[in-house]
Structure 1
């Protein structure tokens, strides 16, 4: 909600992707328990908001077809994860390469997120709620 209220959805998503790139690169360069713990905690904290942000943006964009669109987004994410996991699985004997492939996959998302900026600016804002049929709005 913070990202949507501030209008910083893209910044939050890019922060998560950059954290993933840096964390995976750190694991490729200096593998170890301490580096792994720190990298994975940082990646997890930074990427947790990404899915809710994407789903919320999808809902604002698609209107009445939000359920279908969010389902498609979710399935596309699962498919991407399956592809990356398969490639990394093939590189199990080369862990540094596997982490660099994962970092590259996260890096691909950065220009994609940047390209969404002007589309997101055109979406209706959450700051100005609209009345919906069947929902009684209270005046505080």
Structure 2
């Protein structure tokens, strides 16, 4: 009789912990959901490799600001004719440069239609931030910020 009660309690405990795990998994997956639209990583590869595609996915005139630290930013605005193609996928695998993709302009991780591709050099104040926004289910570069000592 005791073994039957033990097995019933064990089954109850396992079923409760299983549903708790499912609830946690559901919570995590809802945080990782992306807004509807094209896959950002695939977009970023095409953006980096195909010059015509890149030009079609930049909102011109593009704001390009130097952020020297504690001083005011100096901004210029790129036109389509003056823009030089940039490659935002890591082809060097240099350990001194860290590339991070944030999913909003606040540089925090949350579900949004925004991405920031950040290149930050370790032990220096050299960085570049590329701001993308999802518009009509397509990604567009809308701003760039560069900082240096």
Larger radius of gyration: 2
Pick 1 or 2: higher relative contact order, CA cutoff 8 A, min separation 6: 1
Q: What TM-score comes out, normalization by structure 2 length?
A: 0.23
Q: Which structure features the higher share of strand residues?
A: 2
More helix by share: 1
